[in-house]
């Protein structure tokens, strides 16, 4: 049998030139950066490849794992499924903005204490997601935290530690009585 | 991902005009589905009109007692909005059953309606797909079709609409307000999405260039007796195999009004008004629910690896109606592990 | 108990702060100057030939640097053996871009290199490649008759032992019998980190490859042989690996392509595969197992037959030990084990966490459950009645085996005595069916040759080096603990470095042997350094250790002191200062003591207790409780070891309930090759998991007494869940994963 299957997205009209670049102003961890990039640069690639903020991870590039989670105006999103150019004028917080090895954020400390990771690759996304969860203030019980942390896949299977670490900080920071 | 230019629209009119001025352009809201598809080269817009920052994010009461959900309000903000939680808890439930918190924060209401199918073959350029490339053939028919449809399918496409939110909307029957080159109009939700027929590339009835402005819910929210039941291959962060939105009005044990819609089974959120009619005036019993389920699934047909969906849907409908009648669904879609 | 005794203690990861702050650097994250980006183009067909590649069309794009394909790849090493890595199975290794032939779907057919990532991706999407398609065969079910016994497998593969007794006759005559086939589909490792390589061009043909691998030395020897590089010119580094699970044992085509491009372009290159492309290489093979078991009236095993068939590629004979374990886990005089593989048009399978044993324990442990029910025995009681005191495969005693303690302690922790035997006999308050099941297994305790180097500076800081790997198992931490304890230093004073071919050679990070192999090397090296320090201490004026032999002293709390009299001590830092040396160094290595070991069977064991709750009407299953009791020798770090076993349980739950890469045989292609449709467990799938390590002393396996825990924890988990589903519902599912439709 012969047929012509193809993966190519090329159309008969030939190849279009790459898009032009332009300045994109991003506020990341309180610092303003101006990048000369094309609209096709995702927020994730802008962070990793243009700003060398590699704490934000690429695990699937399709919103299917949560490793690229960052906070935009305090809300957690997948940075792989959004364009950098869509976030001018917003406050972007990455793992680098939460704490440093010498001065860990309470969530980072709780993750170390509860051994809530192994390989560490999903961890920055888990922690940013947990901060988003705390900001949302919707999850209190263990079952709720499990559900609300389910947008972050951990292939090492550190979910028990992740639950305990997040719960510890939720309990500490939660002023409202537990449901 | 292909080469494209980008414009951040400043107003609805600007957006509509900018889109009309660019062949092969697309609106982008949150981007959670479009950018995914662009990275797969399934969507290849040459120009993006960003509408996410348009002033369409409000959720506000309507004079007729309904509720307007702005097109650019995020799925999360919609689900957790006080009016939604108290008056349309079915919608709250359905939204929270979908995707992940991160995706719900970025995804807009308008974008949720515009989601494309999750059919494996649609996403894979190496395989034929009529929806992606009209006339190339359907690989899911005769292939692996676990996620595919059992109702309203055609010989050219058995794909399903992947949204959870839209299943609740189908049950609540809002109208979709849109604006386009031809002006503003409203589309009944049931008419918004379409069946594949011989044009599976068309997911909905929007005219070229039309932009969703809002989803206008009617007054009736079924906030006492409702259920959104989602069945999937893992406990969270997975698309529905079958989902059911059920809503009832009860007078004692008699059903006075009913809404019933299914997800994961058809090219559109599948509301069955004949089944709803069958429920009305009947006692809220398992037997009644089973008759409604049978009605919904008349003519349902599996395609091999999704044969189980017919029976699963039957059971899910009965369960969801039972939960709705009992009024037992709690505020979030979380597995509750009760101890023995 | 002194403060510098760390071994065995639950110690937080020393690399924890780096990982939780995002400062730990993975292969695709090294910032190097003048970086070009690669993007792989993958084949849409499973078999055939490339007839034309329209590279000129994309080369016309400004910023596109080169398109590499079989048409322009420079001449490389000719012989197959040059492409054989340290763990390559028998056969002819796949060579990317070698010729026009397509051997499997998603085969890399071209590498596009451009000035930035987005442009490379764009150009790759436009590259037109024409193919001549040929008929492929990807269905193991239809190739059963073509199964064959592999000849020589890869290192570590052992053909099944010869049959013993008369299993056919014994089965015919026994009162309790079962026979059944068990199936599980292909599974992909899917570590969170994508395969990536950053090749730094150091000029003059010299490169440093920051590569995602479980063995920097394996990658180095692979690259040097293929590209004719000198070892000194080809440094391979991996400081952190975002999960491996076996996926990084063999050098992937990504490192080959990235290095090829860097050498050709004389430029630094980064290549990161996509998640979809992570399904283009090795995987746990689709496996069919046939088991035929019988028991006598007293519940003793009368006969055991276990036969397995799994897929391999057309170019290599992938092998793993699927059935051998069945000849040693239980006492049985009549045993026959069979093992075959069959060729398909797929990429060669690859070791994936507990390779062979994870699969084999699905067959054996569900079959044991079936037979227990046939014999009317509690599944745990049935296992106790068939406890193997000796390894009958090798006819040797075990160096240690505390599986019976696992059974008893695990059962007590789980509350197994509350179980009622009949299926469908237990329910929770909501009316959901409850099922309790068990499963377990056995895994090799092995040690590989390993080297290390240690140095201590005048300020009392110790640095220990060994080219081992950190893929999440806790290597940094346990090696730091061993070094700190051996030389009596606070853990903060010790730095352990790994993952670099400029460090002393360590084995691949796999097979659960790192703790035993590298740990022993680190211990020996620190002891060698200790002897040097003792000599320096003895040169001090009025040294209280003047006449002490190495065995007379101990290193504790920053001091060297006499074992017999702790007051006779010198402070280590004073020793260094008095010596006038700025740095004292030692290196050493460790080899398994074959003479001692060969008389014994060296193995770790476990048993898993699982509870499921099943909504019978809807077919939903939740694994609500698991106890995993493990006998794996000495545990170096209770905290990280527990995490490894917790992770293993999550893997087992995935294998039991959701993980399967589905092949569409029409296209010869995995249809769910992404993270949305290949499901791994998420947080909401995981509930209570308890890990028990039973005390198991063993001075035969290695001086540390460790057996390794990376794999053993996964054994039996999937079977325990499947058995629990049977107990809950009365439905015996023999085709994993147990998805919703199989319970309707």
Judged on CB neighbours under 10 Å (0-12, 13-18, 19+), A36 is exposed
Query: In this structure, are C37 and C69 located in the same domain?
Result: yes
Query: In this structure, are A90 and A38 located in the same domain?
Result: yes
Matching residue, tokens 């596009």: C112
State whether residue A162 sits within 8 Å of chain C by CB: yes
Query: In this structure, are A125 and A71 located in the same domain?
Result: no
Position A12 pLDDT exceeds 70: no
Mean pLDDT on C634-644: 97
Cα dist from C672 to B118, B203, C669, C677, C732, whole Å: 11, 23, 9, 5, 26
State whether residue C62 sits within 8 Å of chain B by CB: no
Q: How far apart are the C-alpha atoms of C254 and C248, rounded to whole Å?
A: 11
A95 to chain B, minimum CA–CA distance in Å? 15
Q: Which residue of A has its CA nearest to B33?
A: A81
Tally of domains in chain A = 2
Query: In this structure, are A26 and A85 located in the same domain?
Result: yes
**SS3 at position A173:** helix
State whether residue A51 sits within 8 Å of chain C by CB: no
Residue B115 pLDDT class (50, 70, 90 cuts): very high
Cβ contact (<8 Å) for C127 and A8?
yes
Mean pLDDT on C341-362: 98
Matching residue, tokens 């597995």: B335
Query: In this structure, are C317 and C406 located in the same domain?
Result: yes
* Residues of the domain holding A119: 106-173
**Closest Cα to residue C340, out of C386, C378, C384, C306?**
C306
Query: In this structure, are C180 and C109 located in the same domain?
Result: no
Matching residue, tokens 């439905």: C731
pLDDT tens for residues B242-275?
A: 999 999 999 999 999 999 999 999 999 999 999 9
- State which of C255, C274, C293 marks the end of a domain: C274
* CATH code (residue A30): 3.10.20.30
Cβ contact (<8 Å) for A76 and B236?
no
Mean pLDDT on C489-503: 98
Size of interface A-B (CB pairs under 8 A): 121
| Catalytic positions of C | 711
Q: Which of B2, B30, B100 sits opposite A150 (nearest CB)?
A: B100
- Identify whether C8 is part of a domain: no
pLDDT tens for residues C578-614?
A: 999 999 999 999 999 999 999 999 999 999 999 999 9
- Identify whether C3 is part of a domain: no
Pick the range with the lowest mean pLDDT from B33-42, C82-91, C108-117: C82-91
Q: How far apart are the C-alpha atoms of C204 and C200, rounded to whole Å?
A: 12
Q: Which pLDDT value is given to residue A3?
A: 46
**SS3 at position A31:** strand
Query: In this structure, are C571 and C452 located in the same domain?
Result: yes
Query: In this structure, are C487 and C500 located in the same domain?
Result: yes
pLDDT tens for residues B41-73?
A: 999 999 999 999 999 999 999 999 999 999 999
DSSP secondary structure letter of residue A47: I
Is the distance from CB of C650 to CB of C683 less than 8 angstroms? no
Is the distance from CB of C593 to CB of C524 less than 8 angstroms? no
Pick the range with the lowest mean pLDDT from A3-7, C29-33, C383-387: A3-7
pLDDT tens for residues B193-249?
A: 999 999 999 999 999 999 999 999 999 999 999 999 999 999 999 999 999 999 999
Residue C188 pLDDT class (50, 70, 90 cuts): very high
- Identify whether C637 is part of a domain: yes
Q: How far apart are the C-alpha atoms of B204 and B91, rounded to whole Å?
A: 21
State whether residue A155 sits within 8 Å of chain C by CB: yes
- State which of A79, A97, A115 marks the end of a domain: A97
Q: How far apart are the C-alpha atoms of C360 and C343, rounded to whole Å?
A: 20
* CATH code (residue A155): 1.10.150.120
Q: Which of A104, A112, A147 sits opposite C13 (nearest CB)?
A: A112
Position C108 pLDDT exceeds 60: yes
Cβ contact (<8 Å) for A66 and B100?
yes
Q: Which pLDDT value is given to residue B91?
A: 98
B278 to chain A, minimum CA–CA distance in Å? 36
Cβ contact (<8 Å) for B102 and A85?
no
Cβ contact (<8 Å) for A39 and B39?
no
Report, in this order, helix, strand and coil percent for chain A, each rounded to 5: 35, 15, 50
B178 to chain A, minimum CA–CA distance in Å? 23
Q: Where are the domains of chain B?
A: 5-52, 225-326
Cβ contact (<8 Å) for C133 and A18?
no
* CATH code (residue C396): 3.30.365.10
Q: Which pLDDT value is given to residue B331?
A: 45
Query: In this structure, are C632 and C682 located in the same domain?
Result: yes
Mean pLDDT on C135-141: 98
Query: In this structure, are A85 and A26 located in the same domain?
Result: yes
State whether residue C655 sits within 8 Å of chain A by CB: no
Query: In this structure, are C511 and C464 located in the same domain?
Result: yes
Token readout for C280 is 């283009």
- Identify whether A1 is part of a domain: no
Report, in this order, helix, strand and coil percent for chain C, each rounded to 5: 30, 25, 45
Token readout for B222 is 């079924």
Partner chains of C (3+ C-beta pairs under 8 Å): A, B
Query: In this structure, are A84 and A149 located in the same domain?
Result: no
Judged on CB neighbours under 10 Å (0-12, 13-18, 19+), C429 is exposed
Three-state DSSP string of C252-292: CHHHHHHHHHHHHHCCEEEEECCCHHHHCCCCECCEEEEEE
Q: C288-318 burial, b if ≥16 CB within 10 A, otherwise e?
A: bbbbbbbbbeebbbbbbbbbbbbbbbbbbbb
Mean pLDDT on C457-478: 96
Q: Which pLDDT value is given to residue C153?
A: 66
Mean pLDDT on C257-277: 98
CATH topology of domain B5-52: 3.30.43
Give contacts of B127 with chain A, Cβ < 8 Å.
Answer: 5
Judged on CB neighbours under 10 Å (0-12, 13-18, 19+), B82 is exposed
Cβ contact (<8 Å) for C620 and B231?
yes
- Which helix (H) or strand (E) covers residue C177, if one does? strand C176-184
Q: How far apart are the C-alpha atoms of C623 and A157, rounded to whole Å?
A: 14
Mean pLDDT of all residues belonging to chain A: 93
Q: Which pLDDT value is given to residue C360?
A: 98
Query: In this structure, are A128 and A148 located in the same domain?
Result: yes
Mean pLDDT of all residues belonging to chain C: 97
φ, ψ of residue B174 to 5 degrees: the values are -80, 180
Q: Which residue of B has its CA nearest to C667?
A: B127
Q: Which pLDDT value is given to residue C155?
A: 73
Token readout for A52 is 């060398």
Q: Which pLDDT value is given to residue B334?
A: 56
Give CA B221 to chain center in angstroms.
17
Give contacts of C637 with chain A, Cβ < 8 Å.
Answer: none
Is the distance from CB of C295 to CB of C320 less than 8 angstroms? no
- The C residues from 120 to 159 touching B (CB cutoff 8 Å) are 121-122, 125
- State which of A97, A123, A146 marks the end of a domain: A97
Query: In this structure, are A86 and A125 located in the same domain?
Result: no
- Mutate which of B101, B233, B337 to test chain A, going by most A C-beta atoms within 10 A? B101
- Identify whether A178 is part of a domain: no
A7 to chain B, minimum CA–CA distance in Å? 5
C431 to chain B, minimum CA–CA distance in Å? 9
Query: In this structure, are C572 and C656 located in the same domain?
Result: no
Would you call the peptide bond into C737 cis, given omega within 30 degrees of 0 as the criterion? yes
Query: In this structure, are A47 and A91 located in the same domain?
Result: yes
Tally of domains in chain C = 3
- Identify whether C557 is part of a domain: yes
Q: Which of C618, C662, C682 sits opposite B231 (nearest CB)?
A: C618
Partner chains of A (3+ C-beta pairs under 8 Å): B, C
Matching residue, tokens 């995935």: C654
Residue B336 pLDDT class (50, 70, 90 cuts): low
Count of other CB atoms within 10 angstroms of residue C609: 28
Rama region for C628: left / alpha / beta (φ>0; ψ in -120 to 50; rest): beta
- Identify whether C10 is part of a domain: no
The residues near C78 (Cβ < 8 Å, ≥ 6 apart) are none
Query: In this structure, are A78 and A110 located in the same domain?
Result: no
State whether residue A56 sits within 8 Å of chain C by CB: yes
Query: In this structure, are C354 and C394 located in the same domain?
Result: yes
Position B169 pLDDT exceeds 70: yes
Query: In this structure, are A84 and A111 located in the same domain?
Result: no
* Residues of the domain holding C711: 144-187+283-446+599-743
Q: Which residue of B has its CA nearest to C672?
A: B120
From chain B, which residues contact C within 8 Å (Cβ)? 1-3, 39, 41, 118, 120-121, 123-127, 139, 142-144, 146-147, 231, 233-239, 241, 308, 311-312, 315-316, 319, 334-335, 337-340
Q: Which of B41, B147, B319 sits opposite C617 (nearest CB)?
A: B319
Query: In this structure, are C114 and C164 located in the same domain?
Result: no
- Identify whether A65 is part of a domain: yes
- State which of C252, C274, C296 marks the end of a domain: C274
Q: Which residue of B has its CA nearest to A146?
A: B334
Q: How far apart are the C-alpha atoms of C54 and C48, rounded to whole Å?
A: 18
- Mutate which of A155, A169, A170 to test chain C, going by most C C-beta atoms within 10 A? A155
pLDDT tens for residues A77-87?
A: 999 999 999 99
- Mutate which of C9, C22, C123, C212 to test chain A, going by most A C-beta atoms within 10 A? C22
Q: How far apart are the C-alpha atoms of C481 and C523, rounded to whole Å?
A: 10
Query: In this structure, are C470 and C583 located in the same domain?
Result: yes
E strand intervals along chain B: 5-8, 25-28, 47-50, 59-61, 67-70, 175-180, 183-188, 211-217, 225-231, 242-251, 254-263, 270-271
- State which of C552, C569, C591 marks the end of a domain: C591
Count of other CB atoms within 10 angstroms of residue C16: 25
In chain C, what percentage of residues exceed pLDDT 70? Answer: 99
Mean pLDDT on C12-16: 98
CATH topology of domain B225-326: Enolase-like; domain 1 (3.30.390)
C273 to chain A, minimum CA–CA distance in Å? 10
Q: How far apart are the C-alpha atoms of B252 and B258, rounded to whole Å?
A: 14
Position A178 pLDDT exceeds 50: no
pLDDT tens for residues C660-678?
A: 999 999 999 999 999 999 9
A31 to chain B, minimum CA–CA distance in Å? 23
Cβ contact (<8 Å) for A77 and B102?
yes
pLDDT tens for residues C369-382?
A: 999 999 999 999 99
The residues near B240 (Cβ < 8 Å, ≥ 6 apart) are B97, B162, B164, B167, B230, B231, B232, B263, B264
Query: In this structure, are C72 and C120 located in the same domain?
Result: yes
pLDDT tens for residues C284-329?
A: 999 999 999 999 999 999 999 999 999 999 999 999 999 999 999 9
- Identify whether C681 is part of a domain: yes
Q: Which of B2, B36, B101 sits opposite A148 (nearest CB)?
A: B101
């Amino acid at each position: 049998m012969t047929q012509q299957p193809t993966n190519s997205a090329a159309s008969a009209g030939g190849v279009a030139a790459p898009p032009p670049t332009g300045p994109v102003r991003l506020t990341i961890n309180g610092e303003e950066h101006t990048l000369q990039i094309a609209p096709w640069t995702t927020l994730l690639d802008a962070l990793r490849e243009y700003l060398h903020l590699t704490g934000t991870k690429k695990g699937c590039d399709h919103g299917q794992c949560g490793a690229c989670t960052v906070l935009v105006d305090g809300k957690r999103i997948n940075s792989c499924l959004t364009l950098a150019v869509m976030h001018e004028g917003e406050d972007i917080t990455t793992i680098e903005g939460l704490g440093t090895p010498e001065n860990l954020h309470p969530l980072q400390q709780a993750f170390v204490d509860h051994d809530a990771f192994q390989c560490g690759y999903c961890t920055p996304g888990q922690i940013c997601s947990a901060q988003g969860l705390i900001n949302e203030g919707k999850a209190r019980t263990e079952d709720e935290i499990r559900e609300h942390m389910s947008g972050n896949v951990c292939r090492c299977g550190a979910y028990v530690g992740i639950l305990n670490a997040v719960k510890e900080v939720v309990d500490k920071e939660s002023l409202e009585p537990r449901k | 991902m292909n080469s494209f230019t980008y414009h951040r629209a400043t107003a609805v009119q600007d957006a509509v005009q900018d889109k009309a001025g660019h062949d092969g352009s697309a609106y982008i809201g949150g981007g959670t589905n479009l950018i995914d598809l662009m990275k797969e080269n399934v969507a290849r817009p040459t120009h993006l009109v960003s509408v996410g920052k348009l002033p369409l994010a409000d959720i506000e009461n309507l004079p007729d007692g309904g509720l307007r959900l702005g097109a650019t309000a995020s799925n999360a903000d919609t689900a957790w909005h006080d009016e939604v939680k108290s008056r349309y808890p079915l919608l709250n439930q359905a939204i929270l059953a979908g995707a992940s918190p991160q995706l719900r924060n970025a995804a807009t209401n308008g974008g949720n309606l515009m989601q494309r199918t999750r059919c494996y073959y649609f996403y894979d350029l190496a395989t034929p797909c009529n929806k992606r490339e009209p006339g190339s053939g359907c690989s899911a028919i005769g292939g692996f079709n676990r996620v595919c449809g059992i109702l309203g399918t055609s010989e050219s496409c058995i794909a399903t609409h992947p949204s959870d939110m839209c299943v609740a909307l189908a049950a609540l029957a809002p109208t979709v307000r849109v604006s386009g080159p031809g002006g503003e109009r409203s589309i009944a939700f049931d008419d918004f999405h379409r069946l594949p027929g011989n044009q599976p590339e068309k997911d909905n009835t929007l005219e070229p260039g039309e932009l969703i402005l809002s989803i206008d819910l009617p007054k009736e929210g079924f906030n006492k007796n409702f259920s959104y039941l989602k069945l999937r291959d893992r406990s969270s962060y997975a698309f529905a195999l079958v989902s059911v939105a059920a809503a009832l009005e009860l007078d004692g044990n008699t059903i006075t009004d009913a809404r019933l819609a299914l997800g994961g089974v058809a090219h559109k959120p599948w509301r069955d008004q004949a089944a709803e009619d069958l429920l009305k005036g009947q006692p809220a019993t398992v037997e009644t629910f089973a008759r409604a389920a049978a009605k919904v699934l008349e003519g349902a047909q599996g395609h091999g690896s999704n044969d189980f969906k017919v029976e699963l849907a039957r059971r899910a409908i009965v369960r969801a109606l039972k939960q709705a009648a009992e009024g037992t669904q709690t505020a979030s879609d979380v597995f509750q592990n009760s101890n023995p | 108990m002194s403060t510098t005794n760390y071994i065995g203690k639950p110690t937080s990861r020393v690399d924890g702060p780096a990982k939780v702050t995002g400062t730990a650097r993975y292969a695709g994250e090294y910032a190097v100057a003048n970086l070009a980006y690669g993007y792989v183009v993958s084949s849409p067909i499973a078999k055939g030939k490339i007839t034309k590649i329209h590279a000129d069309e994309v080369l016309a794009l400004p910023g596109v640097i080169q398109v590499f394909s079989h048409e322009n790849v420079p001449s490389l090493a000719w012989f197959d053996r040059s492409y054989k890595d340290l763990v390559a199975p028998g056969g002819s290794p796949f060579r990317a871009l070698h010729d026009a032939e397509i051997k499997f779907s998603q085969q890399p057919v071209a590498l596009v290199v451009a000035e930035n990532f987005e442009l490379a991706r764009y150009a790759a999407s436009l590259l037109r490649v024409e193919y001549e398609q040929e008929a492929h065969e990807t269905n193991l079910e239809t190739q059963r008759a073509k199964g064959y016994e592999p000849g020589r497998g890869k290192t570590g593969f052992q053909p099944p032992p010869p049959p013993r007794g008369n299993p056919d006759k014994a089965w015919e005559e026994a009162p309790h019998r079962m026979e059944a086939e068990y199936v599980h589909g292909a599974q992909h490792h899917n570590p969170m980190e994508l395969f990536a390589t950053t090749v730094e061009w150091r000029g003059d043909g010299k490169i440093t490859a920051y590569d995602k691998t479980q063995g920097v030395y394996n990658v180095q020897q692979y690259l040097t042989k293929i590209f004719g590089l000198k070892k000194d010119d080809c440094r391979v580094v991996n400081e952190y690996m975002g999960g491996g699970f076996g996926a990084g044992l063999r050098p992937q085509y990504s490192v080959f392509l990235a290095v090829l491009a860097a050498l050709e372009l004389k430029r630094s290159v980064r290549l990161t595969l996509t998640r979809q492309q992570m399904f283009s290489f090795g995987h746990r093979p689709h496996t069919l197992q046939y088991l035929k078991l019988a028991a006598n009236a007293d519940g003793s095993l009368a006969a055991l037959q276990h036969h397995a068939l799994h897929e391999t590629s057309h170019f290599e004979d992938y092998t793993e030990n699927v059935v051998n374990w069945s000849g040693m886990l239980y006492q049985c005089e009549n045993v026959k084990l069979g093992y075959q593989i069959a060729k398909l048009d797929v990429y060669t399978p690859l070791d994936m966490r507990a390779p062979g044993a994870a699969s084999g324990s699905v067959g054996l442990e569900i079959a044991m459950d079936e037979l227990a029910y046939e014999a009317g025995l509690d599944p745990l009681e049935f296992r106790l009645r068939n406890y193997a005191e000796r390894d009958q495969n090798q006819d040797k005693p075990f160096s240690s085996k505390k599986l019976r303690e696992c059974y008893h302690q695990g059962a007590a922790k789980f509350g197994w005595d509350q179980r009622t035997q009949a299926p469908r006999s237990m329910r929770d308050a909501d009316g959901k069916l409850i099922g309790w099941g068990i499963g377990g297994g056995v895994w090799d305790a092995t040690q590989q040759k390993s080297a290390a180097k240690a140095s201590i500076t005048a300020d009392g800081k110790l640095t220990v080096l060994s080219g081992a790997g950190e893929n999440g198992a806790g290597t940094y931490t346990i090696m730091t603990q061993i070094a700190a304890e051996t030389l009596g230093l606070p853990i903060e004073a010790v730095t352990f470095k790994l993952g670099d071919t400029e460090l002393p050679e360590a084995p691949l990070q796999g097979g659960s042997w790192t703790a035993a192999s590298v740990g022993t090397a680190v211990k020996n090296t620190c002891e060698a350094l200790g002897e040097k320090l003792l000599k320096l201490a003895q040169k001090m004026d009025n040294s209280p250790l003047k006449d002490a032999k190495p065995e007379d002293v101990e290193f504790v709390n920053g001091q060297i002191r006499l074992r017999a009299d702790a007051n006779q001590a010198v402070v280590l830092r004073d020793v260094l200062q008095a010596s006038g040396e700025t740095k004292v160094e030692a290196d050493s290595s460790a080899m398994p003591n074959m003479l001692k070991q060969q008389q014994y069977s060296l193995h770790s064991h476990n048993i898993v207790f699982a509870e499921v709750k099943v909504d019978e009407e809807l077919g939903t299953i939740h694994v609500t409780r698991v106890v995993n009791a493990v006998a794996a020798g000495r545990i170096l770090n209770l905290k990280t070891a527990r995490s490894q076993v917790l992770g293993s349980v999550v893997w087992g739950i995935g294998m039991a309930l959701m993980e399967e890469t589905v092949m569409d045989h029409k296209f010869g292609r995995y249809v769910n090759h992404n993270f949305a449709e290949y499901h791994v467990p998420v947080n909401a799938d995981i509930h209570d998991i308890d890990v028990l390590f039973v005390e198991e002393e063993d001075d035969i396996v290695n001086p540390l007494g460790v057996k390794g825990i990376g794999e053993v924890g996964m054994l039996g988990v999937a079977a325990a869940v499947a058995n629990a589903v049977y107990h809950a519902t009365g439905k015996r599912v023999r085709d994993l994963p147990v998805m919703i439709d199989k319970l309707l």
